[in-house]
Chain A
Amino acid sequence: MLDARSRWTPYWQAAPLALVFLVFFVLPLAITFMVSFWTYTGYSIEPAFVGDNYASAFDKCFASLPDLCTTFRTYLSTLKFCLLVWLITLVLGFTIAYYLVFEIKSPTTRIVLALLTTIPFWTSNVIRMISWIPLLGRNGLVNQALMGAGITHEPVDWLLYSSFSVTLSLVHINTVFMIVPILNSMSRIDRSLIEAAYDNGASAWQTIWNVIVPLSKTGIAIGSIFVVTVVMGDFISIGLMGGQQIASAGKVIETQITALQFPIAAANAIVLLAVVLMIIWTLLRLVDIRKEL
């Protein structure tokens, strides 16, 4: 009797979360997958089972190789931002976390500084992005300063509505997603390991590379997953800061949704999901998060 009950207890305990996942994650995803095979008109969607939406998502993609089709170009551009933002946030996040954990001796100061990194989160993403615009614009503060200092005579155009401004705002928004998990992993590193490394004659760089990095791998992997998934699905930052001139997978989906072409938008969402899952799968192959937690 007791045995039977205890055998079921973990399932009951997990049930609420499982239910939430089912209703808010699995179900919508299943519906999206289903709709991606439907047909549509300008005002309705009809149940069907056709591959047309996937075919038009990859319209002329293979025939026109080596020239890249719209879809491939869009993904390439999104992946480029993804890689760039990932690298920058990784370096920044790692450095900041390292500083907080190993350079700051007082725990109070450490907590205060760690909280400081989250202050930008007190306002919304969009506001944080928009606030760059008066700074970087053609007549913005940066350009006025550059011209005032005599560094340039013409305003610099590439500061805003460019790959630069998109990368800048994405880094601005996502760095904290790297800091927090890395900070978490680093603070669990046993200090005696570092002392041992020094005692054995390792230089500071050798210690970082051979001791701290491997032991922070879980945090790096979790931070990377955050950053990669956010950037791959982003269309607001890329739209606002890129002056809507830079395509992103999310923007394509959004345009199709506003044109009421839900099935083809669903097909593109499934493609995007597949790409992101592949990236995450690769990441998980490199780091076994569960083992190292």
Chain B
Amino acid sequence: MKKSDKSGLSRRTLLKGSAAFAGFVGTQAVTGFPAVHADEPITLRYLSTATNQSPAIAAKAKEVTGINIEYVTVTTDDVTKRIVTQPDSFDLVDTEYFSLRNLIPSGNLMGIDAKKVKLVDKLATAMTKGEVDGKKIGNQGTAPNKVFYLEKQRGKEFAKEPTDWITLIPTTYNADTLGIRPDLIGRPITSWAELLNPEFKGKASILNIPSIGIMDAAMVNEAMGKVKYGDKGNMTKEEIDKTIATLIEAKKAGQFRAFWTDFNESVNLMASGETVIQSMWSPAVTAVRLKGIPCTFQPLKEGYRAWASGFGLPRTLKGKQLDAAYEFINWFLSGWAGAYLNRQGYYSAVLETAKENMEPYEWAFWMEGKPAEKDILGPDGGLLEKAGSVRDGGSYVERMGAVACWNSIMDENAYMVQKWNEFIAA
């Protein structure tokens, strides 16, 4: 039902968009757009996971810039695979910073020219410097600031200091934690250790994407006091062994109901009551709530596992397509899309412009952690929160400030995947 609402909306907006565009082509009177779009619309193939795609954003982009966005939807791991194996199959990619450790050495992405990105100085410091409100945040794992710049445009080395060549321009980022069904649990949950609490036997789930699941598992192990990590984002073989051993023990005891790889699966598990506590992503929690089912993205005392995603350009992109990609990125950062993403519970790359595109009460609810003055509606117009409620985890500064680690690719990645398979087979 949610889906049909969405597509209905997008079709209308799309029609409006193409009408506006047709008018523009007809008169040529509209100014402020590069002339490249005057002859024929350019289509950008936009590769990313389902979570980062929204028909409404594509429609709005079409309306404002005239660029057609053609979404190519794959899973997190497949984004990486496509970039490494089929770098010509997309024009723009929205991928996670943690995969850069595999993507940059492949040479299939090129550095983005900072001089062509208008709001480059306004990008959130959580991304560029690993700071929120001037304070350092958790830096374990592949934190974006560690892989933000390249030595040169077609370089294979990350730069330690800011340069003009940016690996990915941030689109969305967030601080993830466990999702719970407060109605079925009925008591406060405060620690990652609860995921493996036998009280939830047969009602827990962890995500089966090894590079992310291992981080959730590390948060759990650390919270249980079972393993002490040097760097959760770059474990030693011994730390991996111990982490997986805890998971296997829990699995054999019947702790898990199922694992999930696709965010829709996590929504279904939670909404149907198959699980009451599980690894979850913010928009999945939103999706469960939009069905009228209580679901909390529970802040936990050990902090959050953060992730960040951004636009990358394939090495081979050139000419009008390249110009269009820069134009789309500039539009994306200019506020409308940022506001849209903030309303989904994500954080946008340039906060100032997003703020201009949100109502003050929305900004206060989503970003400042204040009680909602009015009912909060989801991006599709459905009721998300009643007036008076407060966002899980509070304000931007509280949530991003409490990041404990970032999604990562470890030096021992091959070994970790092998051990993860052992866990699945156990």
Annotate A45-62 by CB proximity to B: 1 below 8 A, 0 otherwise.
Answer: 000000000001001000
B425 in contact (CB, < 8 A) = yes
Whether the pair A138, B81 counts as a contact (CB closer than 8 A) is: no
Cβ–Cβ contact A259 & B260, under 8 A? no
**Counting CB contacts under 8 A, is A9 at the interface?**
no
Give Cα distance in the complex from A229 to B305, angstroms: 41
Tell yes or no: A44 within 8 A of B by CB. yes
Most chain A CB within 10 A, of B77, B208, B268, B421, is at B421
1/0 per residue B402-426: CB within 8 Å of A? 0000000100011001101110111
Specify which of A133, A137, A139, A244 lies most central, judged by the most chain B CB atoms within 10 Å of its CB.
Answer: A244
- The one of B105, B210, B258 in contact with A259, judged by C-beta atoms closer than 8 angstroms, is B210
Q: How far is the CA of A260 from the CA of B78 in the complex (A)?
A: 9
Check A207 for interface membership: any CB of B closer than 8 A. no
**Known contacts A70-B421, A260-B80: A139-B272 contact under CB 8 Å:** yes
Main secondary structure of the interface of B (DSSP, over half): helix
Q: Closest A residue to B258 by CB, please name it.
A: A243
Q: Does B62 make an interface contact (CB < 8 A)?
A: no
On chain B, the residues within 8 Å of A40 by CB distance are 414
Indicate if the CB atoms of B424 and A245 lie closer than 8 Å: yes
Q: Report the bound CA distance from A134 to B268 in whole Å.
A: 10
Q: Tell me the nearest residue of chain B to A73, going by C-beta.
A: B425
- Other-chain contact of B417, A59, A247, A251, A261 (Cβ < 8 Å): A261
Partner of B260, one of A77, A244, A257: A244
Task: Give Cα A251 to B77, complex, Å.
Answer: 14
- Chain A min CB distance to B13 (Å): 30
Determine how close the nearest CB of chain A comes to the CB of B292; give it in whole angstroms.
15
Is A272 close to B, CB under 8 A?
A: no
The 8 Å CB contact of A245, one of B105, B106, B251, B273, is B251
Interface size class of A (residues with CB under 8 A): 20 to 34
| A109 at the binding interface (Cβ < 8 Å) | no
Whether A258 contacts B81 by the Cβ 8 Å rule is yes
Beyond A258-B78, A260-B81, whether A243 also contacts B424 by CB under 8 A is no
Q: How far is the CA of A255 from the CA of B76 in the complex (A)?
A: 12
Q: What 1/0 mask marks residues of chain B from 79 to 121 whose CB sits below 8 Å from any chain A CB? A: 0110010000000000000000111011000000000000000
> Given the known A-B contacts A43-B84, A139-B272, A245-B258, are A157 and B202 also in contact in the complex, defined by CB atoms under 8 Å?
yes
CB within 8 Å for A255 and B210 given contacts A244-B260, A245-B258, A247-B425: yes
- Complex Cα distance A40/B417, Å? 14
Docked complex Cα distance between A244 and B103 (Å): 27
Chain B nearest Cβ from A237, distance in angstroms: 14
Q: Give bound CA distance, A44 to B108, whole Å.
A: 11
A74 within 8 A of B: yes
A243 and B259: CB pair below 8 A?
yes
Measured between beta carbons, the chain A residues less than 8 angstroms from B106 are 43-44
Task: Write the nearest CB–CB distance from B412 to chain A, whole angstroms.
Answer: 11
- B425–A258 CB distance below 8 A: no
A97-146 contacts to B (CB < 8 Å): 133-134, 137-139
- CA gap between A148 and B256 in the complex, in Å: 27
Inter-subunit contact A42/B251 (CB<8 Å): no
Residues of chain B lying within 8 A (CB to CB) of residue A157? 202, 257
- Asked if B261 CB lies within 8 Å of chain A CBs, one says yes
Contact status A257-B81, CB under 8 Å: yes
A168 lies within 8 A of chain B by Cβ: no
Contact B425 A77 (CB under 8 A): yes
Residues 371-416 (chain B) with a chain A CB within 8 angstroms: 409, 413-414
Complexed CA–CA distance, A134 and B256 (Å): 19
B274 at the interface (CB under 8 A from A): yes
* Contact in complex: A244, B101 (CB < 8 Å): no
A74 touches B272 (CB 8 A): no
B84 touches A260 (CB 8 A): yes
Q: Which residues of B contact A42 (CB under 8 A)?
A: 101-102, 105, 409, 413-414
CB-CB under 8 A from A160, the residues of chain B are 274
- When distances are taken between beta carbons in the complex, the residues of chain A under 8 Å from B421 are 70, 247, 252, 255-256
What are the interface flags for B245-288 relative to A under an 8 Å C-beta threshold, 1 for contact and 0 otherwise? 00000010000111111000000100011100000000000000
- Write the nearest CB–CB distance from A161 to chain B, whole angstroms: 5
Alpha-carbon gap, A121 to B285, bound state (A)? 35
- Taking CB atoms, residues of chain A closer than 8 Å to B259 are 243-245
Docked Cα-Cα span, A174 to B81, in Å, equals 31
Q: Is the CB of B272 within 8 A of A244?
A: no
Residue pair B258, A161 in contact (C-beta under 8 Å) = yes
Known contacts A42-B101, A245-B256; A139/B273 CB under 8 A:
yes
In the complex, the answer to whether A244 meets B409 with C-beta atoms within 8 Å is: no
- Enumerate A235-291 residues with CB–CB distance to B below 8 Å: 243-245, 247, 251-252, 255-261, 264
Beyond contacts A255-B424, A256-B421: 4 other A-B pairs, Cβ-Cβ < 8 A, are: A41-B105, A42-B101, A245-B424, A259-B417
Residues of B participating in the A interface, judged by any CB pair closer than 8 Å: 75, 77-78, 80-81, 84, 101-103, 105-106, 202, 208, 210-211, 251, 256-261, 268, 272-274, 409, 413-414, 417-418, 420-422, 424-426
Q: Which A residues are closer than 8 A to B by beta carbons?
A: 40-44, 56, 59, 70, 73-74, 77, 133-134, 137-139, 157, 160-161, 243-245, 247, 251-252, 255-261, 264
6 tightest Cβ-Cβ pairs between the two chains A and B:
A243-B258, A247-B425, A258-B77, A244-B259, A43-B106, A42-B102
